[in-house]
């Protein structure tokens, strides 16, 4: 009986070790602040546990009364010698441009997959850049709709892939 218990415990241990081999955690650092954030009262973060070398789930928090709109469009930049440079794309790509707004909790969650556009990211410092759009009043007139103009503001979230 003792041999069976030891055998079963050994098998369970081996199964746990095998399962653990396929789920290596990525060594990353997500920064709390970003150098590029032109939209007031808006913050973009990466949802904990979602950042990989090919994708991430971002969370945009918009605390404005007149909310911004956000599209699927994005770019990835890498910090090289202290300067941000957009990564080269592997091929031409087209994105659909539906516009999203934040929910009743002032949050918008979007999953971004860049593998087909940029490939797998290597060790380095990166940022995801998105555009926040808002119709703002032209200075000429406050009340006429024709004087509204669409303005774009860049927002970003920065991260480091350590391996």
Domain boundaries, the chain: 26-161
Q: How confident is the model at residue 23, as a pLDDT?
A: 33
CA atoms within 13 A on the CB side of 92: 0
- Tell me the CATH number of domain 26-161, given options 3.30.70, 1.10.10, 3.40.50, 2.60.40: 2.60.40
**In the numeric block, which tokens belong to residue 131?**
């555009």
What's the whole-number mean pLDDT along residues 140-162? Answer: 76
Distance (Å, rounded) from C-alpha 59 to C-alpha 149?
26
Maximal C-alpha separation, the chain: 89
61-118 pLDDT, tens digit per residue, is 999 998 999 988 899 999 999 999 999 988 766 666 688 899 999 999 999 999 999 9
11-27 pLDDT, tens digit per residue, is 444 433 333 333 345 67
């Amino acid at each position: 009986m003792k041999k069976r218990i030891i055998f079963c415990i050994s098998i369970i241990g081996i199964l746990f070790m095998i399962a653990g081999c396929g789920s290596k955690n990525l060594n990353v650092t997500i920064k709390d602040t970003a150098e590029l954030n032109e939209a007031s009262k808006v913050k973009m973060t990466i949802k904990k546990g979602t950042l990989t070398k090919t994708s991430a789930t971002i969370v945009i928090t918009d605390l404005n009364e007149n909310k911004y709109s956000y599209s699927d469009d994005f770019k990835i930049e890498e910090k090289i010698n202290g300067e941000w440079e957009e990564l080269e794309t592997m091929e031409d790509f087209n994105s659909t441009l539906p516009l999203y707004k934040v929910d009743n909790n002032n949050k918008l969650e979007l999953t971004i997959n860049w593998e087909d556009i940029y490939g797998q990211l290597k060790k380095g410092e990166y940022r995801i850049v998105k555009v926040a759009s808002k119709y703002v009043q032209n200075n000429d007139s406050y009340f006429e709709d024709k004087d509204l103009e669409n303005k774009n503001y860049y927002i970003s979230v920065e991260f480091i892939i350590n391996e």
